[in-house]
Structure 1
């Protein structure tokens, strides 16, 4: 399918997360960032359903400061397992443009300052130094290519707490690490940038990429780059949430009281349901 040439595309996202425990646990508090944004540029969420099974629970959904849907689930007791199941239907409408933000977002310190996961070291400074384009978009293109070349994709060698500097030193990592390396470089070069969590059609798990902000008239717009694949993000990418780094938008995180050793398993299926 020629997704990048389509006028309108419909998608369905089906995703599950299941936590299983060897013994009952109490005081479960789970944070979920899995519901796609209501609108992200030309991408619209038309419908979604989030089911929680395995325990009596209460939930609360809110929008965070970046406009992401954050769902918090609490359960007094889980006997064996708890499962979170998301179904979401999305539409992409060609010509509705990239995400827009107020012009002031170009100076937002949250998008220009390093975080714990994107703090630069000398190696990152050296990697960023030659990436001086004619404008922010050109600079980001060079940074994307450099970050892609610097890391070989390898699953299992990094964790969710691995920093950009550590991933670069190892020369290996996953999409999260490539995104953190690109973010660290962009921020060193004064390009406002943010982490994107979402889905890439044809890839097994959730995906991560980067958006940079550039001026357009009296607004700012977000342009998406995928340093893991060394390219611009197209119509095969579905945004769920944006933040400063992975820690802001981890799909699932939480705490409980009980013996350690809980097991997390998950499934994900993203399909194109219609193309015009």
Structure 2
């Protein structure tokens, strides 16, 4: 039985289980050969207060080869190879997770020292405006959660949520110059600022209760 998220007092919930089912379908105007596709849709076995109970990924294409591996964060990566796709390929991913809010959201040792969380990616390179904003924000907020909160507020005030003005290759600098974008653009701008300010952080894709599509946000890793 489906539960309306707004009807639940989540602050009093001792345990919650979620079932997520996603279908991805890619269609092509003509047959293609040597398809290589990567799916990053299954979360780690355990992360903070979230525990993965089970998962499954199926591919609706005869002859497709599916391999899986874990990335550096524990996410399950599915690599799909197919010698030929006539018109379309479809993936179905299912995962069940459980959360217990009483458990602390703590990570394994070593995350804060991981240089990857401070390195700019091709989409989060800081331009002059981002560098200036990082200097201004660092000057008025203490390093750590106060600075992360200030960056979050600054990005929210500097951007307007608007569809179809950016794409998957839009950089943080370009989105900020435009002053508009969707969740991935907000996340890229915040990542660029956090990492420039020395806050270890990463891009996260996941689900919000009551919404079908995936969303993007930023996770900032701080010492306890």
TM-score (norm 2): 0.90
- Deviation per residue, 1:185-222 (Å, 9 max, x gap): 11111111111111112334211111111112xxxxxx
Q: How many residues align?
A: 215
Residues 1-276 of structure 1 mapped to structure 2, 5 A cutoff: 1-102=8-109, 104-132=110-138, 133-216=141-224
Distance 1:73 1:11, change over 3 A: same
The residue matched to 2:164 in structure 1 has which SS? coil
TM-score (norm 1): 0.74
Distance 1:4 1:171, change over 3 A: farther
Higher percent of residues as helix: 2
- Structure 2, unmatched stretches of 5+, are 1-7
Mapped contact 2:43–2:74 kept (Cα < 8 A): no
C-alpha RMSD over aligned residues: 1.5
Match of 1:261 in 2: none
Using CA pairs under 8 Å that are at least 6 residues apart, name the structure with larger relative contact order, 1 or 2.
1
Runs of 4+ that moved beyond 6 A: none
Mapped contact 1:55–1:82 kept (Cα < 8 A): no
Distance 1:12 1:50, change over 3 A: same
CA displacement at 1:4 relative to structure 2:
4.1
- Deviation per residue, 1:66-115 (Å, 9 max, x gap): 2211100111122221100011111111222114131x432322111212
Higher percent of residues as strand: 1
Mapped contact 1:55–1:78 kept (Cα < 8 A): no
- Structure 1, unmatched stretches of 5+, are 217-276
- Deviation per residue, 1:127-166 (Å, 9 max, x gap): 2233232340111011111111111111111111111100
